[in-house]
């Protein structure tokens, strides 16, 4: 096939951070064949490649990227019903929230709490995206990927994906080798909306008759209030959503952290014991807020005034300014709590 390769392609407008230089080469990949050909092009020119989805979890260097950007843009979809289960297979380039909206409009249960998450379908298994009591590890039936080393198409079952908190086979052992081209999800035709998360319980005040559309509307309003929404018609910030993951600590370490947090008397719902484990997941936002407070700012970079997990590009900040600010957050949290914050945002340079 004829590959349309663009040179010196600006990347800043392809990310929600709105930061970054140009890519040496850029391909809009609208099919599996174009993905394969893009990889072959990169090999022929002796340069690396990077697979880009919605750019919502990415910070790009101002120096740009000296390789091939493969922009996943395949948007084919297929729906199959089997009793109470509905199987939806989506191309990696499908906008995630469009998929969620479609499911909610069709009154399909299982994905409603993942409304408003930016990015594309192809990224959902990589990060095992989750929010408000739901995550895709409970929805994914199969992932189809291209093996970049062999050119083979490989199908992964749910178990093959090795899902855990914000982690999967695709961002660990398989990182860089497998490019996701489509994902198959299982939705249910009957059920009850998931409103167990504390923000939703507070929003609905334990109303028993809640529709999927009402849950979606609530999620969008909550995410907008927190400044985590990247959708037209809603208020948002130039950021990549949650910059850091919630850390998991031992029970003994948690007790030390708890003493500090409780002494400050400034947090509720900030930790989640892990089932069948002595470990505890702790809110990174709570730790950061305890050190800095919402809206803390240094020059053109700062924390969101609504949610401390979001680092915001307030005024045409540079890549280095964001990285320096992130390190300041990490160093201070470690000094106070002895917790290392892992970055959820991917860095491209």
The catalytic residue positions are: 166, 242, 344
Q: Which of 102, 100, 99, 81 is nearest to 91 (CA)?
A: 99
Q: What's the Cα-to-Cα distance from 333 to each of 228, 244, 304, 337, rounded to whole Å?
A: 22, 12, 17, 6
Q: H helices within 226-318, ranges in order?
A: 251-264, 284-291
Alpha-carbon span 165 to 64, nearest angstrom:
30
Exposure b/e, 95-133, CB count within 10 A at least 16 = b: bbbebbbbbbeeebbbbbbbbbbbbbbbbbbbbbbbbbe
Sequence-ordered list of residues with C-beta below 8 angstroms from that of 245, at least 6 positions apart, any chain: 165, 166, 284, 341, 342, 343, 344
Q: What's the Cα-to-Cα distance from 35 to each of 30, 60, 145, 178, 305, rounded to whole Å?
A: 8, 21, 11, 11, 40
Number of CB atoms found within 10 A of residue 198's CB: 11
CB 333 within 8 A of CB 240: no
CB 250 within 8 A of CB 281: no
Which residue matches tokens 């855990």? 164
**Beta strands across the sheet bearing 178-188:** 77-82, 85-91, 178-188, 140-147, 153-157
């Amino acid at each position: 096939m004829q590959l349309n390769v663009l040179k010196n392609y600006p990347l800043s407008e392809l990310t929600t951070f709105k930061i970054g230089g140009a890519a040496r080469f850029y391909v809009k990949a609208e099919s599996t064949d174009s993905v394969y050909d893009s990889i072959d092009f990169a090999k022929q020119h002796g340069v690396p490649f990077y697979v880009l989805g919605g750019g919502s979890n990415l910070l790009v260097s101002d120096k740009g990227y000296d390789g091939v950007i493969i922009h996943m843009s395949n948007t084919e979809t297929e729906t199959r019903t089997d009793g109470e289960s509905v199987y939806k297979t989506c191309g990696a380039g499908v906008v995630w929230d469009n998929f969620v909206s479609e499911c909610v409009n069709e009154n399909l249960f299982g994905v409603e709490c993942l409304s408003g998450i930016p990015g594309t379908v192809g990224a959902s298994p990589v990060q095992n995206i989750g929010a408000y009591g739901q995550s895709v590890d409970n929805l994914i039936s199969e992932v189809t990927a291209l093996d970049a080393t062999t050119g083979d198409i490989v199908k992964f079952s749910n178990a093959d994906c090795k899902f855990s908190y914000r982690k999967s086979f695709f961002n660990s052992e398989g990182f860089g080798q497998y490019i996701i081209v489509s994902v198959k999800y299982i939705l249910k035709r009957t059920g009850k909306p998931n409103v167990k998360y504390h923000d939703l319980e507070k929003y609905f005040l334990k109303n028993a008759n809640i529709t999927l559309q009402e849950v979606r509307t609530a999620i969008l309003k909550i995410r907008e209030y927190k400044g985590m929404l990247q959708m037209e018609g809603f208020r948002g910030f130039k950021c990549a959503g949650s910059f850091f993951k919630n850390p998991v600590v031992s029970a003994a370490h948690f007790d030390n952290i708890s003493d500090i947090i409780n002494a400050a008397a400034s947090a509720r719902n900030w930790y989640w014991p892990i089932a069948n484990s002595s470990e505890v997941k702790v809110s990174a936002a709570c730790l950061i807020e305890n050190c800095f407070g919402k809206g803390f700012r240094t020059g053109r970079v700062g924390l969101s005034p609504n949610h401390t997990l979001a680092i915001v590009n307030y005024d045409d900040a540079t890549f280095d300014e964001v990285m320096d600010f992130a390190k300041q957050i990490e160093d201070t949290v470690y000094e106070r709590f002895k917790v290392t914050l892992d970055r959820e945002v991917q860095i491209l340079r």
